[in-house]
Amino acid sequence: MVYTKTIPMNKNIDYKKELNPAQLEAVESINGPYLVIAGAGSGKTRVLVHRVAHLVEKGVKPDEILLLTFTRRAAEEMLRRASLLLDERCKHVSGGTFHSFANMILRKYAKLLGMNNNFTILDRADAEDAVNLVRMQLGFHKSEKRFPRKHAILEVISKSVNKSEDIQDVLYDEYPQFIEFIDQIKKIRDEYRKYKLQKSLLDYDDLLVFLKNLLSKHEDVRLALAAKYKYIMVDEYQDTDKLQAHIVCLLAADHANIMVVGDDAQSIYSFRGANFKNIMDFPKIFKGTKIITLEENYRSTQPILNLTNAVIAQAKEKFEKNLYTKKKEGNLPVFIDCPDENSQSTFVADKILEFREEGVPLNEMAVLFRSGWHSNDLEIELASRNIPFVKYGGQKFVEAAHIKDLLSYLRIAYNISDQVSWLRALLLIPGIGPKTASRIIEAVIAKPKDNTLLQKNDGLVKLLELLKSVDSQHDLPAKTIEKFLTYYQPLLKIKYDDFNKRLNDLDSLLRIADRYKSTEQFLVDMALEPPERSLVEAGKRDKDDTALTLSTIHSAKGLEWHTVFIIYLAEGHLPSYLSLEDEEGVEEERRLFYVASTRAKENLFLLKPHIDRSPRSFMDGGGSVFTQVSRFLGQGNLLQEFVDVQSAGVSDELNDLELEDIIGEKRSRNKAFFESMEEYFRDDQ
């Protein structure tokens, strides 16, 4: 919308009073390129809101300002606040996501790219269905070997686009199990492109690709847009991918009136295609860039900031900053070395109840973790204490399909007349559909000892033999589950592309079952005392003050709580095992720990289990392993200088040895453990 009417300013904004010196410098900077490094909790949004108001106040037409954010809600909220700060003119600023901006521009210039301007945008589900249609038309679904499904194929294609990498590179880096299908996946990508072009369809990635192509190949259009948007601001620049950064550079290449705001220390989304180098290289691309650093923190106490500053100071590549706050006093972060996973869960639950008694609401406390499965044991503990919670960044594991699958076998073993469990178990067997399953169930219920009908399918025969071999009335539930897991694992690999990720959940189920002596009690607890169903839909936040927050660190970015617990701070967990393959991966894990730590306002608890149960992938080797504290805490004298080190039941002898090992940085890892362990793929976001 073009702004034509002059509205007299009726507010006198005292910027010096409302902003600290660094914020004021950023707000009053107008012409030229600026990089604002906004430390955690330093008022980044406040700066963007006030700068929009300041530009309009200084005579810049609202429609000449472009504000790019990662969510529509963020842009709308910033412009709403700017309007309240100044006046209604701020609502006419062009604000939105990269994708919404691309859609607006492409509707106007579509014909230059050989497409209709009435194109349809495919959402994620539609795009997956289109990929699947192409996959089936090419006959790849009939492959003798397990061919990747539509979700995985679209992920590969999308990451290839966002990272500006060849499909082969994406497969080698993230999907090595599909390397043998490189040619077929490339063929699907090519046919998928043709399909979309023929049908006037664009997926999310296409919006950015087509916009970049428009700006690159049509100089007149690029110059027209540069003339229209004389002042460009980009939020969360550390989260941009190569394609988005390229678009920003093309738009601002002539006037260079661009301000990007972000924090290199919070760049944690490489799995989505975000490129850490975008923010680091910005001053190289835009010569003469003025770097403004926001270091005053309005969230945490100084003891918490002292730890986070020390952690990020170890980063290999960074913009220098040292966060400080006026809240000088406070509790030291506490490191707890728990005997095992269950003790870790018990400690967290105890502390949560203790803080609630002291008046801290549940919604002002959070438990953060690297991967969704890390909270499995804790969820059971919280449920047994009647502590309500909401979980973000991962499905509650007792509701996950693979957990339900495995439990269905146990329920059948315990009660052969359980029709619901029979149906679930039978539909997992290749060659058995709903009709056949119904006939089998009827036969089982009518004549449980007559197996004539049941002998017609090899997969079914194996299941029956297994059921005969277990004694659910007397065997320990963990022993029975372990037998079923051996049977289920091949089916798991057939059914799910991300079977390695799901094996971690099944490991957790096995460890939880190990705490029970009776199959009956285990099944009763799974039915009556599992974690409550999530109080909110995935991706939505609820301000319910009766619920504790459980969240992956990726999903916690931008949020804050009075008290934060970070669990599984051990080598192989944070940093994750897979990140140890390269330095960049380890550095992103460091930033992940930094993000988690800076969520805490008053209290920060850092926990790890002293003993870690061996993963399913090498359970035949037996035993458990002693964990090593995360290198992000073990480097230098961090634990001595910035952390209150405590023990939760670990013997003094073991704890002294552990601390000696931490401080001396002796990292004698259990090689077999780290070579065998499988880590969740980073979509726990």
SS (H, E, C) 322-357: CCECCCCCCCCCEEEEECCHHHHHHHHHHHHHHHHH
Write down the pLDDT at residue 359: 94
Over residues 49-59, mean pLDDT: 93
- Residue 680 has a pLDDT of 29
Minimum mean pLDDT range among 81-85, 118-122, 677-681: 677-681
Average pLDDT, the chain: 84
Residue 139 is assigned to a ligand binding site = no
- Mean pLDDT, to the nearest integer, of 412-424? 79
Residue 44, marked binder = yes
130 is in an annotated binding site: no
Residue 472 has pLDDT above 70, yes or no: yes
pLDDT band at 544 (very low <50, low <70, confident <90, very high): very low
pLDDT-wise least confident of 281-295, 465-479, 589-603: 465-479
Report residue 353 as tokens: 């109840």
User: Residue 366: which of 380, 343, 384, 382 has the closest Cα?
Assistant: 382
* Structure confidence at residue 398 (pLDDT): 67
For 635-685, the pLDDT digits (tens) are: 878 888 899 998 766 544 444 444 444 333 333 333 333 333 333 223 333
Q: What is the mean pLDDT of residues 110-121?
A: 84
Q: Is 617 annotated as ligand-binding? A: no
User: Is 42 assigned a ligand-binding role in the annotation?
Assistant: yes
Q: Which residues pair with 67 in a beta bridge?
A: 95, 233
d(CA 107, CA 334): 55
User: What mean pLDDT do residues 97-119 have?
Assistant: 88
Residues 6 or more apart whose Cβ sits within 8 Å of residue 62: 3, 56, 89, 90, 91, 92, 93
Residue 246 has pLDDT above 50, yes or no: yes
The whole-number pLDDT of residue 36 equals 98
Given a cut of 70, is residue 298 above it in pLDDT? yes
Q: Does the pLDDT value for residue 46 go beyond 60?
A: yes
89-93, 535-539, 666-670: least confidently modelled range? 535-539
Share of the chain above pLDDT 70, in %: 85
Chain centroid to CA 640: 31
Structural contact between residues 165 and 243, judged by C-beta atoms closer than 8 angstroms: no
pLDDT exceeds cutoff 50 at 191? yes
Is 495 annotated as contributing to ligand binding? Answer: no
At 661 the pLDDT is 46
Say if residue 459 carries a ligand binding annotation: no
pLDDT in tens, 388-410: 999 887 555 566 788 889 988 98
Mean pLDDT of 267-293: 95
pLDDT single digits (tens) 545-583: 579 999 999 999 999 999 999 999 999 999 988 888 889
> Confidence band (pLDDT; 50, 70, 90) for 454?
low
Cβ atoms of 216 and 140 within 8 Å: the answer is: no
Chain centroid to Cα 505, Å, comes to 17
Residue with tokens 């020390």: 310
Is 40 known as a binding-site position? yes
> With bands split at pLDDT 50, 70 and 90, how would you rate the model's confidence at 10?
low
Q: Which residue has the higher pLDDT, 670 or 250?
A: 250
Region 24-37: what's the mean pLDDT?
A: 97
Give the per-residue pLDDT at 115.
Answer: 85
Residues 490-519 pLDDT 10s? 888 888 877 777 887 888 888 888 888 888
User: Alpha carbon of 460 to those of 141, 144, 279, 570: distances in Å?
Assistant: 24, 21, 56, 42
Whether 9 has a pLDDT exceeding 90, the answer reads no
Mean pLDDT of 354-376: 94
Judge contact between 203 and 196, C-beta under 8 A: yes
Report for 206-210, 420-424, 564-568: range of highest mean pLDDT? 564-568
By the 10 Å C-beta count (0-12 exposed, 13-18 middle, 19+ buried), 417 is classed as: exposed
Whole-number pLDDT of residue 449? 59
Give the list of residues 6+ apart from residue 641 with CB closer than 8 angstroms, or none: 306, 310
